[in-house]
């Protein structure tokens, strides 16, 4: 263990944290507890504290922002439901709003503590001193939802932002929001990145660098959370907070807002600081177990309003994270396409794992023979052709992954296609059902799976555009037992691409984008295909519940000859030219503050 991490760990060994640790030990059990503990204690590639200090707005930048004149300068109301807020927290929250470089704001504090004389005195002083601060004193505590709604009713702004009574805004938060609104006036909803801060504000930690809007991730976890700003007219349309969702009232509200928003904006900048203390869910998720049940109901509400019937929402072992299992509609024929050249040991392992383990039975296997030389290979083909579900077809010509698969699709009978490498071993019995349930959703075009190397490290958990120059696999080489940055390796979410080592597509979507690009013979053909599918408005979904082993491209061999290296460089340049705008702008399902040099979601230096 890194010495600095060890010292940090020892420093944290206080009675409260020990009790907290025991609570988590009881929840996870010894094995999972220590897996998570050691993962948490891994040294940061780039320490966040110094990174934050070098990336926060400087006094000079804030001064420049305060002098800036926007063409569109909306009033933004920041609504804070407050209840017996400790005086220090209250003052620091208010000062964080008063320190905004953008000055056209209103702070609405819904005070549900009429009997707290000291709190009332502090609020009166602030309200008397600054007319932008409005205090609405409630007769009683109505609960977080109704208290917030009281604040909404007093908000006069064109947009409304939500701030908890013990948290803080970065001084450039509202400026950045208005800057985005000026770039796109159709934006109804804006959210930002956030971090956590200790009770005494001495340390910033656990930065949450978010992707642009990600439907499947939102159904796995309320990743949007803070800072959330929404057009007031949209609030009036969807309604405010609902008390039956207390504990996850913001999750339910966010769902209802994004469902009807014309456009959803994301600012990849830390603009909200979530204070941790003994009773906050930031520090102790178990302190509000009822909130996670409310979160489950918020997801179920979203599914119902979006017309999704038959889906099942369940909790994961990690507090506040969820699985959504979609229903399979009917029993359509699935065509599984497996290109092959010799290596019948691998092919046999692959086919046996499909036929012996799969619980879904309406499928056909298309083995695409390409330039095999071993007599034993053709003997095995003869055996396979005796099986009713298997066809062996031959592609004549040099190896071209794109052309081979396009050829196979032209001969496939299914309405759904699975592209499967011959060096894959299925280990999830319901793998086809899980992929099919996702790809049958009307908004989804492609679904990929979670792949492991034989040593139980991750080979694929989604593809990030820009890593390694063009694209790279997320969490490559991470231990299977770990869940990664904010559990993303184990959450269903949307990516820009997934690997065709195991990938399912709708046949109609494959035809719509005209299949694989045959100019990409070996590399990046799956990435290019997924990007074109996304370009047509479909989602590319990573399903971590479909798990397989991948014995990585043994049929094709290594990229070690001059000809192969030249071809690889040509394909890199082809991708760079085709997708130059995306490469410059950055992957919308990643975050510009995260590194492109590694797979592990570490900070960009």
For residue 561, give the DSSP letter: S
Q: Which homologous superfamily does the CATH classification assign to the domain defined by 53-305? A: Spore Coat Polysaccharide Biosynthesis Protein SpsA; Chain A (3.90.550.10)
Cβ–Cβ contacts within 10 Å for residue 549, how many? Answer: 20
Contact 351, 365 (CB under 8 A): yes
For the stretch 466-519, pLDDT in tens is: 999 999 999 999 999 999 999 999 999 999 999 999 999 999 999 999 999 999
Confidence tier at 445 by pLDDT (50, 70, 90) = very high
CB-CB contact of 409 with 507 (8 Å): yes
Write down how long the chain is: 605
379 pLDDT higher than 90: yes
Residue 40 has pLDDT above 70, yes or no: no
Tens digits of residue pLDDT in 489-501:
999 999 999 999 9
What average pLDDT does range 150-167 have in this prediction? Answer: 98
Pairwise CA distance, residues 253 & 371, whole Å: 57
Beta strands 312-315 and 322-325, pairing class: antiparallel
Name the pTM for this structure.
0.92
CA angle (348, 354, 356) in 5-degree steps: 90
The reported pLDDT for the residue numbered 556 is 44
Q: Decide: 150 and 138 in contact? Cβ < 8 Å.
A: yes
Residue 414, H or E segment: none
One of 3.40.50.10860, 3.40.50.300, 3.90.550.10, 3.40.50.720 is the CATH number of 334-585, namely: 3.90.550.10
pLDDT of residue 133: 98
Percent of the chain with pLDDT over 70: 90
What are the residues whose beta carbons fall under 8 Å from the beta carbon of 559, sequence distance 6 or more? 565, 568
Backbone angles phi, psi at 407, to 5 degrees: -60, -45
Q: Where are the alpha helices (DSSP H) in 368-428?
A: 375-384, 401-411
What is the pLDDT averaged over residues 348-365? 98
**Which ranges of 469-555 does DSSP label H, i.e. alpha helix?**
507-512, 525-535
| Average pLDDT of the segment spanning 257-262 | 98
| Across 565-592, average pLDDT | 95
pLDDT confidence band for 564 (50 / 70 / 90): confident
pLDDT of 14 reads 55
What is the per-residue pLDDT for 565?
Answer: 81
CATH 3.90.550.10 in the chain, residue ranges: 53-305, 334-585
Name the pLDDT band for 23 (thresholds 50, 70, 90): low
Q: Rg of the Cα trace of the chain?
A: 27
């Amino acid at each position: 263990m890194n010495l600095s991490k060890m010292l940090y760990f020892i420093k944290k060994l206080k009675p409260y944290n020990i009790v907290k640790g025991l609570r988590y030990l009881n929840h996870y059990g010894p094995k999972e507890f220590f897996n998570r503990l050691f993962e948490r204690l891994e040294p940061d590639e780039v320490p966040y504290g110094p990174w934050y200090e070098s990336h926060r707005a400087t006094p000079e930048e804030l001064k420049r922002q305060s002098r800036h004149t926007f063409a569109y300068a909306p009033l933004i109301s920041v609504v804070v439901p407050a209840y017996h807020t400790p005086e220090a927290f209250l003052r620091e929250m208010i000062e964080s709003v008063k320190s905004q470089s953008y000055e056209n704001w209103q702070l609405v504090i819904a005070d549900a503590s009429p009997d707290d004389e000291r709190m009332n005195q502090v609020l009166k002083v602030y309200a008397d001193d600054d007319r932008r601060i409005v205090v609405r004193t409630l007769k009683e505590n109505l609960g977080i939802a109704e208290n917030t709604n009281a604040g909404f009713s007093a908000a006069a702004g064109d947009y409304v932002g939500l701030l908890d009574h013990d948290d803080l805004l970065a001084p450039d938060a509202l400026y950045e929001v208005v800057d985005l609104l000026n770039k796109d006036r159709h934006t109804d909803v804006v959210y930002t990145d956030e971090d956590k801060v200790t009770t005494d504000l001495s340390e910033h930690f656990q930065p949450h660098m978010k992707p642009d809007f990600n439907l499947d991730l939102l159904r796995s976890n309320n990743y949007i959370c803070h800072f959330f700003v929404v057009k007031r007219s949209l609030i009036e349309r969807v309604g405010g907070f609902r008390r039956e969702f207390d504990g996850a009232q913001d999750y339910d509200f966010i769902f209802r807002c994004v469902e009807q928003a014309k456009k959803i904006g994301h600012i990849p900048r830390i603009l909200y600081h979530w204070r941790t203390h003994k009773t906050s869910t930031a520090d102790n998720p178990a302190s509000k177990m009822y909130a996670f049940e409310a979160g489950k109901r918020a997801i179920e509400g979203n599914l119902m309003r979006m017309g999704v019937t038959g889906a099942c929402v369940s909790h994961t072992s990690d507090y506040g994270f969820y699985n959504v299992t979609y229903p399979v509609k009917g029993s359509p024929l699935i065509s599984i396409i497996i290109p092959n050249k010799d290596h019948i040991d691998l092919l046999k392992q692959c086919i046996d794992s499909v036929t012996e383990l799969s619980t879904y039975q309406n499928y056909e296997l298309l083995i695409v023979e390409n330039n095999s030389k071993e007599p034993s290979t053709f003997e095995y083909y003869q055996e396979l052709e005796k099986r009713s579900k298997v066809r062996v077809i031959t592609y004549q010509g040099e190896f071209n992954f794109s052309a081979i698969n396009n050829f196979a699709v032209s001969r496939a009978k299914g309405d759904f296609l699975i592209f499967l490498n011959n060096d894959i071993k299925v280990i999830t019995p319901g793998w086809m059902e899980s992929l099919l349930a996702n790809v049958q959703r009307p908004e989804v075009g492609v679904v990929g799976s979670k792949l492991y190397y034989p040593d139980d490290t991750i080979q694929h958990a989604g593809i990030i555009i820009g890593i390694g120059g063009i694209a790279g696999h997320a969490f490559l080489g991470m231990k299977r037992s770990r869940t990664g940055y904010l559990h993303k390796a184990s959450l269903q979410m949307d990516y820009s691409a997934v690997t065709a080592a195991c990938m399912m597509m709708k046949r109609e979507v494959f035809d719509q984008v005209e299949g694989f690009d045959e100019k990409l013979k070996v590399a990046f053909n799956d990435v290019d295909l997924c990007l074109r599918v996304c370009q047509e408005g479909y989602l590319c979904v990573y399903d971590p519940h479909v798990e397989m082993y991948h014995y990585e491209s043994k049929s094709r061999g290594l990229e070690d000859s001059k000809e192969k290296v030249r071809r690889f460089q040509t394909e890199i340049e082809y991708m760079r030219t085709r997708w130059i705008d995306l490469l410059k702008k950055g992957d919308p399902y990643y975050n510009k503050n995260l590194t492109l040099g590694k797979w592990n979601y570490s900070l960009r230096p």
